[in-house]
Amino acid sequence: MKISHIEHLGIAVKSIEEALPYYEKVLGLKCYNIEEVADQKVKTAFLKVGDVKLELLEPTSEDSTIAKYIEKRGEGIHHLAFAVEDGVANALQEMEAAGIRLIDKAPRPGAEKLNIAFLHPKSTQGILTELCEPGQ
Ligand code: ZN
């Protein structure tokens, strides 16, 4: 697996509407895309910080994994996403062979037209890790 860069940081928020003024007015960043990912029961908002993005994640349903995360741990950094150059499917195979627990056995569509897959935080030093590649 070849990681090219950090694609984004995922941040769990209760409400994008309530969180955005901090990012935009206080930090001076600009939200350039808001998008719902029905599959993951989240609404996402994207801001750019140099080449790295921040992905705000708001649950759209009580049984969303983000809703459960906020319930247990509060708002905050939820995951770290690496862009991989040689394909998410290949990376997953490599990770599985290395004994890393996979949440996704195969890439699936994510926000921002990416193909994504998650690795389990129990296998990744406590950080929910997303691998992504341009897709769709
Ligand atoms: Zn993400």
pLDDT at 132: 97
Whether 99 and 119 have beta carbons less than 8 Å apart is answered as no
**Nearest-angstrom CA–CA distance, 127 and 122:** 8
Give, as residue ranges, everything with CB less than 5 Å from ion ligand 1. Answer: 10, 55, 81, 130
pLDDT at 136: 66
pLDDT at 39: 85
Q: What is the mean pLDDT of each run of 10 residues along the chain (136 residues)?
A: 96 98 98 93 97 97 95 97 96 97 96 95 97 90
Cα(82) to centroid(ligand 1), Å:
9
Cα(55) to centroid(ligand 1), Å:
6
Q: Is 68 helix (H, G, I), strand (E, B) or coil?
A: helix
pLDDT at 109: 92
Tokens encoding 64: 């969303």
Whether 64 and 88 have beta carbons less than 8 Å apart is answered as no
pTM of the model: 0.94
Number of domains in the chain: 1
Give the range of the structural domain holding residue 45, as residue numbers without chain letter: 3-134
Whether 4 and 87 have beta carbons less than 8 Å apart is answered as no
